[in-house]
Amino acid sequence: MTTKNNFWNITFIYSIGFLGLRAISFLLLPLYTNLLSAKEAGYIFIFYTIIAFLNTVYSHGMDSSLLKYYKQENSKKIITTSFLYSICWGIVLSLIVYIFHQPLIYFNTVSIYSSKTIALFVIGILFCDMLSSRLMTIIRLLEKPIYFLMVSLANVLLSISLNIYFIKSLSMGFNGALLALVYVSIIQLLLLLPLLASNLKIFQFDYALLKKMLLFSMPFLPASIFFIMIEMADRVMLGWLSSVEDVGLYGAGYKIGAVVLLIVRAFNLNWQPFYLKSEHNDGVKQFEHIGSRFIVFLIFISTIITMIWPIIFKIKINSIYLIGESFWSGGEIIPIVAFSYAIYGVFILQMPSIYIKNKQSWVPYFWGVGFIINFISNYLLIPIYGFYGAAFSTFFAYLFMSLFLLYKNQSWLPIKYNLYDILYISIFSSLAFLAYFKLELILIIIIYVIIGAFKIYKMQRA
């Protein structure tokens, strides 16, 4: 089996688990949009924003550092060092979150729990997720895709079941979503503990190694914070400059468009270990080969989502729409969000230079530029265009970040893609979208999918 085919085969296995894991929020959309008001859904999306932001602070790039320094011959030393430090760091942060819990009183309008109790829930979720994330990274390094897949699927089934039980059966609304998140985080960590037990050797903790890992990971902390702020600032600023109801509408549409983000992240699960193991000369040719195909695939998928989202929203199951009617207006941002993440995929494809050329100190600058563009755009556009302005802010942020990294890579590690194939799919996609927009014939989507899939198949076989 060739290296490139092996890459795509392993990526496919990890992608199933990752997409299943990350698709939970999509699978819960019918529940949220049919059983909750736009205001309640808005509060849930804001809570997820807080969790995502704090998750970044808990992790602060240690997953990337683990990928960078992992070696098979001393894997237990690296795993032990990373985990013992993470536990200590997590305890310190958890104490800080609990002491400064007062801002969580914001959720008292929809929650039966006090801000102190919500703080304990937040701590439990964050601590378990931090350790689980590290263990999932180790699974990738140990090349155990089936284990990864099983844990991911268990997480999906538990999330859906518990949310249905708490929100639908017990009519607990926001509180039910909160409890489901707590239970799932704990159970996922329990499923991963056997892996930790077999790899954690306390006496192999290495302080010198920890210093190297921290030096590598620290530039990723501000970068990760900027990433989360780009991803989540729109919800917070919508609530501030518009309304919590708008956050609910925006969140429903955003999650469909963010299917492309899931694909990019699933791709990156195997992309990072792959380029870290590649030899420079040989690697660049493989980067070009893989990158060209992935860009074409992202354009293809984004175009399909852009055309079919109204059909998805209006699917009926037992006389109930898949997405509640009161949330339909939020779907209009889906094309903007989908293509924003296609551009983000180009940014990810340019990342090998950061690791191979040890340019990690530049990472905060790329994300910092993205955050500044995003914040200014949100501030200027939301008061005028509402959640459309928030969606375009995400698009502008990733566009400028990608252009910045592409510019720097001209001197660091030039990667030349197959512009003919990219231009072909771009023109074909534009024509297909315009034809569907004018005629609204399902046949146009079918023809586009067949021809586009055939093009991608031919590229993969080349």
Sign of the CA dihedral running 319, 325, 327, 329: positive
Mean pLDDT, range 240-256, rounded to an integer: 86
pLDDT value of residue 216: 80
Confidence of residue 267 (pLDDT cuts 50, 70, 90): confident
pLDDT band (50, 70, 90) for residue 462: low
Question: For the segment 408-432, what is each residue's pLDDT rounded down to a tens digit?
Answer: 999 998 888 999 999 999 999 999 9
Angle at which helices 38-59 and 75-99 cross, to 10°:
130
Whether the predicted pLDDT of 265 surpasses 50: yes
pLDDT exceeds cutoff 80 at 280? no
Number of H helices, E strands in the chain: 20, 2
Helix (H) or strand (E) holding 320: strand 320-321
**For residue 1, what pLDDT band results from cuts at 50, 70 and 90?**
very low
Mean pLDDT score across all residues of the chain: 86
Of 63-67, 179-183, 301-305, least confident by mean pLDDT is 63-67
SS3 category, 112? coil
Residue bearing the bigger pLDDT, 150 or 188? 188
pLDDT in tens, 348-362: 999 888 878 878 788
The answer to whether residue 92 scores a pLDDT higher than 90 is: yes
